[in-house]
Chain A
């Protein structure tokens, strides 16, 4: 009787789930075993796409680029976002103002952000190198060299850690004040309180953010794409999603792109499992 209302209310999602998730997931598995250019119906080619990938130099290049980016970005972003959230959770004046200052960069539309940073990174008269110059360091030609183009994208992305920071902040506000008071009575220092009270209590939030950040890093697309569509210099910022996008919409190899997407899913799935395994004994859940 009441079940009927439940189904009626959930109907939009049943349709959405079926059409925009379930169907695409199954179709994408099928496409990954076909040669498909959209214009002509897909042709079954078995595991050809996957075996071609193994021998595809660009595939490996973009996969390694993306993993390197994630390896630099995820730890740095976690430290920066969590550190800022700790500071922004203190009870000092002007807090709404400070919070806005640190969050605002993540509101900047990606294209504006990239244009702004390309200019800041400019090797000759970019603000960063001019600033480095005043303290006697000769800055690199960030976006023109293979060694510095990836770190430049990491720095640029760190500027937008606001989203993760806000989620940490929400988590920190859920830590009961009584626990800090108890720690104060025991004469705990600020560092001890952070290490022994705050971090264990928000560890589920840290895990959530790390996993989300891995998932997003593996899909990085817009920033490098706007910077240089072909990932130059020397494909050093040609990332996995860019190659996937090019295969799908530039070369019209939809089957090949789908195979790439499933490899990406497996990599993300594996990394998530590693994170969960690592977290097993370290993450503290309330009441168990």
Chain B
């Protein structure tokens, strides 16, 4: 018993120590976002601001308003939100339907198609990057948001795989009973299977949200005018604009990071369970 107590103390000590190393950069970022310009670049560094400069946040958010005539941060935020909503909706709808087919319907060639789907996860993005770009050039979609979200409505291998694994754990008897009661396949999917798979669908949605929220390469390739930029791209632009205004840059970064952290904190159990459900566990 005593040995166990010591073990727990040791584990806590290691976790706290490593946790500090992991959280320090973020804490430093939040701390800096509340410093004055002089404190932010002081040498030796100032640990905490003498007076928390909350107006840094409003300064950072409204930065560039005078020169551009609009508030770039709000425009970036609106663009990012639009991208996220269209992307997440597409990922959830298309992959649920397709995964349902792979998990619970019988059709000729299903196993071959599934193997081919898994194999495509090996293809590095640069291989398909150029032809997809030229395709969107031909469609005249470059400079619009469509190249970013339209493909999401046609399924992706990883999400299909994750949802399929989960759908397979739902007893087939439920579907059969519904079929006897005269329920259509679409009805079984929307009324029985999809509601039972909510945790897995939530994980796929969360992954999709993070991918869109953080996407840099996509907007970099397809969005060219500044009023179309997303936050991830806009933040980069901020940097060159603001030069050495670290405190404002850190405030802007904090605002971008905060929603994702809050989202994860409330969904972390679901998140880990969802990944366990993919069958990746030993």
Contacts and interface: CB of A to CB of B under 8 A. Distances in A.
Interface of A: 2-3, 5-10, 12-13, 15-17, 19-21, 23-25, 27-28, 31, 36, 38, 84, 87-88, 90, 92, 96, 98-105, 107-112, 115-117, 119-120, 124-125, 127, 130, 159, 166-167, 169-171, 173-175, 190, 201-205, 208, 215, 218-219, 221-222, 226, 241, 244-245, 248-249, 254, 257-258, 260-262, 264-265, 268-269, 272, 286
B126 A244 contact: yes
B2 interface: no
Contact of B134 (A3, A16, A21, A254): A254
Interface stretch (B6-14, B52-60, B66-74, B81-89): B6-14
Contact of A10 (B107, B265, B268, B276): B107
Nearest to A23: B131
Nearest to B152: A16
Contact of B22 (A8, A19, A24, A101): A101
Interface residues of B, number: 91
B236 interface: yes
A78 B273 CA distance: 21
Contacts of B63: none
Contacts of A222: 216-217
B195 interface: no
B276 A174 contact: yes
Nearest to B110: A6
Which of A3, A25, A28: most chain B CB closer than 10 A?
A: A28
B98 A10 contact: yes
B129 interface: yes
A104 B276 contact: no
Given A38-B134, A102-B22, A103-B264, A9 B98 contact: yes
18 contacts: A5-B101, A5-B107, A12-B154, A13-B160, A19-B135, A24-B128, A27-B131, A31-B131, A38-B133, A99-B268, A103-B268, A105-B25, A111-B236, A167-B280, A171-B281, A205-B280, A219-B125, A265-B124
Nearest to B246: A119
A244 B124 CA distance: 12
A258 to B, nearest CB: 5
B209 to A, nearest CB: 11
A38 B19 contact: no
Contacts of B253: 109, 112, 115-116
Contact of B124 (A3, A21, A99, A215): A215
Interface of B is mostly: helix
B46 to A, nearest CB: 10
A221 B23 CA distance: 24
Contact of B129 (A21, A100, A248): A248
A110 B107 contact: no
A100 B281 contact: no
B265 A100 contact: yes
Contacts of A6: 101, 105-107, 110
Contacts of A107: 210, 257, 260-261, 264
A31 B106 contact: no
A111 B43 contact: no
B12 A258 contact: no
B120 A21 contact: yes
User: Nearest 6 CB-CB pairs, A to B?
Assistant: A16-B154, A174-B281, A6-B107, A9-B101, A24-B128, A27-B131
B127 A9 contact: no
B221 interface: yes
Nearest to B274: A170
Nearest to A131: B24
A261 B126 contact: yes
Given A3-B106, A6-B106, A108 B124 contact: no
Given A20-B154, A21-B123, 6 more contacts: A9-B185, A27-B134, A28-B131, A87-B14, A92-B15, A125-B45
Nearest to B207: A163
A2 B104 CA distance: 11
